[in-house]
Amino acid sequence: MATQQRSRIAILAGAKKVIAEVGAYESNMLDIAARAQVSRATVYNHFADKEEMIATLLESEVVRLIDLGKAAATPQAALFAISRAISTDQALAKMVVTDSADVLKFVTVGDHPLWKVIGAGITEIFGARNGSLVLRWFLGQVASPLTESESRSQAEQLSKALV
């Protein structure tokens, strides 16, 4: 893996850690650089500003969740894996508390190109007929995370409804 790619991955991981501690609004490039163990200049070589970095982090998290679902052996396993990832995401949980207006914008389906990526991923994993139902189940967990047993039970019930 090239040094630039390693730096970018480290920056995004550092950003997620800082957001988990203070929220997106209170995060800053200096703290993110420190967490990523790179210079502030390196952060700015990759991202023009915090907004661009957070947008890139959001996109990488969406791709990660889609890949998690694709790697699952069954639709039920995909539902469970994605549910657990959403429900246990500390950065997302912190943003619900500290950056609720931004989270509300994100969970409102719209014309942003990222929604096309999400829609295509959900369709690939769960089928076109089931996409809306599955998406709404996942979005509900952003504001109201599930316990492991709730994720397991609801994934089982939902997978039966998808057939």
* Cα-only R_g, the chain: 17
Residue 111 is inside which H or E element, if any?
none
User: Which pair of structure tokens corresponds to residue 138?
Assistant: 């996942």
Domain boundaries, the chain: 3-161
- Taking the C-alpha atoms of residue 15 and residue 24, their distance in angstroms, rounded to an integer, is 9
pTM for the model stands at: 0.91
Class of domain 3-161 (CATH, top level):
mainly alpha
Query: Which residue, chain included where needed, has tokens 């429900």?
Result: 87
pLDDT per residue as tens digits for the range 60-102:
999 999 999 999 999 999 999 999 999 999 999 999 999 988 8
Residues (pLDDT < 70) of the chain are none
User: Which pair of structure tokens corresponds to residue 83?
Assistant: 């549910």
- Taking the C-alpha atoms of residue 38 and residue 36, their distance in angstroms, rounded to an integer, is 5
Interacting residues of 136 by C-beta distance below 8 A, sequence separation 6+: none
**Per-residue pLDDT, 103:** 84
